[in-house]
């Protein structure tokens, strides 16, 4: 493996260019299987098919015992399975905390595959000396978020490392959901003509964390948009499951990176209109102050939907009726031209190519 450097850099965790290189040159090369190769937010597993396969493989190894022959899940039962670790700093911030973020983030990864989230696991890596009260506050927040979202935290693990070997608290969540029959979403399914619908303002989460760290104050306070999106996804899918081709939540790397991923995987072009993209004034002000582009700033409660043009207005209306989609907007469309590239039309009519995030804008954003 060569990434032009022999050590891990912060940018390897940015969600941008170096992260993609690491995934492709290391993880995909070794963990070589078609499910992982999809690189969607969740792995979608055919449990029926999986069982068949496991049966074939294990029989050779003498694994299969008679009882397992009784098991025959319906062939259309598919599981979604996903994981994320959270290392956000600080662990408490306006609009959320590391626990709420971990629960919402995993719910959202499941929801982006069209799955109904059902069960979560939670793994805690704790630095010796963390105040029990802080841990309790995080755990209570996870429990409340999970309960409100209708998911259960059913498995957990705690490790403690000596002082100075971690930073207060890291949390990993993994999640399992069920993908309804007939639902087929994927980063490789966007089609020329699709409308691109963004569910609301961008940059809120990232600029909140950055402002906390930099000690910035604004007239209208910033807050993370951290929220569970499975209800919004369900509302959208209710309108027209077949017309929705792809859902993504633009987290690390921001909207620009997410759009680049879809343009690349679907081998299509993407054109978006700058002045249709909702950005809060406080976020815009913070971005200007720090020299950042909101298109590259992380979100934790937003999604982008790629929808067949004839269904776009109905999906938009339904999104706007949902509490997490009130400021939804159609921000662009998918084209057959310039496949693999994302083009931004500025308010003044100029066109510029939007690349994937390069380097690291803000470590430990999530």
- Asked if 262 contacts 270 with a C-beta cutoff of 8 angstroms, the reply is yes
Site for its own copies contains 314 (CB under 8 A): no
323 binds its own copies (CB under 8 A): no
**Alpha-carbon 37 to chain mean position:** 17
- The whole-angstrom separation of Cα 184 and Cα 175 is 19
By CB under 8 A, the count of residues binding its own copies is 113
> Which DSSP letter does residue 102 get?
H
Closer residue to its own copies (CB): 308 or 339: 308
The reply on whether position 308 binds its own copies by CB under 8 A is no
The only residue of 24, 52, 68, 340 in contact with its own copies, by rule CB under 8 A: 68
Q: Distance (Å, rounded) from C-alpha 232 to C-alpha 244?
A: 13
State which of positions 89-108 bind its own copies (CB under 8 A). 89
**Rounded to the nearest whole angstrom, what is the least distance from the CB of residue 275 to its own copies in the complex?**
32
Could you say whether residue 350 binds its own copies (CB under 8 A)? no
Contact between 123 and its own copies per CB under 8 A: yes
To its own copies, the closest distance from the beta carbon of 211 in angstroms equals 19
Q: How far is the CB of 199 from its own copies (least distance, A)?
A: 16
Say if CB 26 and CB 1 are below 8 A apart: yes
Of 62 and 349, which has the nearer Cβ to its own copies?
62
Q: Which of 51, 216, 285, 289 touches its own copies (CB under 8 A)?
A: 51
Bridge partners, 127 (sequence order): 161
Q: By rule CB under 8 A, what string of x and - marks binding of each residue 213-252 to its own copies?
A: -----------------xx--xx-xx--x-----------
Cβ proximity of 126 and 98 under 8 Å = no
C-alpha to C-alpha distance for 113 and 276, rounded to whole angstroms: 26
Return the residue matching tokens 């069960």. Answer: 119
Task: Indicate whether 172 belongs to the interface with its own copies (CB under 8 A).
Answer: yes
Q: What are phi and psi of 120, to 5 degrees?
A: -125, 155
CA-based end-to-end distance of the chain: 27
Task: State residue 111 phi and psi, 5-degree precision.
Answer: -60, -35
Residue 6 binding its own copies, by CB under 8 A: yes
User: Given candidates 90, 161, 288, 326, which one binds its own copies under the rule CB under 8 A?
Assistant: 161
**Does residue 128 belong to the site contacting its own copies (CB under 8 A)?**
yes
* 58 touches its own copies (CB under 8 A): yes
Our finding on whether 49 is near its own copies (CB under 8 A) is no
* Residue matched to tokens 């626990």: 99
Q: Choose between 121 and 335: whose C-beta lies nearer to its own copies.
A: 121
For residues 111 and 113, give the distance between their C-alpha atoms in angstroms, rounded to a whole number: 5
Considering only 24, 52, 90, 140, the residue that binds its own copies (CB under 8 A) is: 140
Backbone angles phi, psi at 5, to 5 degrees: -165, 145
71 binds its own copies (CB under 8 A): yes
């Amino acid at each position: 493996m060569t990434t032009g450097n022999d050590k891990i850099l912060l940018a390897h965790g940015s969600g941008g260019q170096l992260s993609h290189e690491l995934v492709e040159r290391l993880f995909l090369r070794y963990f070589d299987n078609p499910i992982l190769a999809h690189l969607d937010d969740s792995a979608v597993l055919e449990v029926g098919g999986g069982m068949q396969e496991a049966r074939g493989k294990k029989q050779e190894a003498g694994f299969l015992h008679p009882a397992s022959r009784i098991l025959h899940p319906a062939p259309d039962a598919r599981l979604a399975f996903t994981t994320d670790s959270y290392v956000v700093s600080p662990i408490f911030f306006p609009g959320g905390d590391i626990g709420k973020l971990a629960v919402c983030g995993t719910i959202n990864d499941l929801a982006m595959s069209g799955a109904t989230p059902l069960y979560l696991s939670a793994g805690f890596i704790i630095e010796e000396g963390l105040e029990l009260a802080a841990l309790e506050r995080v755990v209570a927040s996870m429990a409340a978020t999970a309960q409100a979202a209708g998911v259960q935290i059913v498995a957990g693990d705690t490790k403690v490392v000596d002082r100075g070997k971690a930073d207060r608290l890291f949390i990993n969540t993994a999640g399992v959901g069920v993908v309804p029959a007939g639902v087929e979403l994927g980063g490789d399914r966007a089609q020329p003509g699709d409308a691109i619908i963004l569910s609301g303002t961008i940059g809120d989460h990232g600029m909140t964390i950055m402002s906390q760290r930099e000690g910035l104050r604004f007239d209208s306070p910033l807050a993370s948009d951290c929220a569970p999106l499975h209800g919004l996804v369900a509302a959208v899918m209710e309108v027209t499951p077949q017309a929705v081709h792809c859902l993504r939540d633009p987290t690390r790397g921001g909207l620009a990176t997410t759009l680049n991923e879809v343009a690349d995987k679907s081998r299509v072009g993407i054109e978006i209109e700058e002045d249709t993209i909702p950005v809060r004034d406080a976020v815009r002000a913070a971005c200007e102050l720090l020299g950042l582009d909101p298109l590259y700033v992380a979100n934790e409660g937003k999604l982008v939907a790629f929808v067949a043009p004839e269904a776009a207005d109905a999906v938009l209306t339904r999104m706007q009726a949902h509490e997490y989609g009130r400021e939804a907007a159609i921000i662009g469309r998918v084209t057959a031209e310039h496949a693999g590239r994302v083009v931004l039309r500025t308010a003044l009519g100029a066109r510029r190519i939007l690349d994937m995030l390069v380097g690291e804008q803000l470590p430990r954003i999530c």
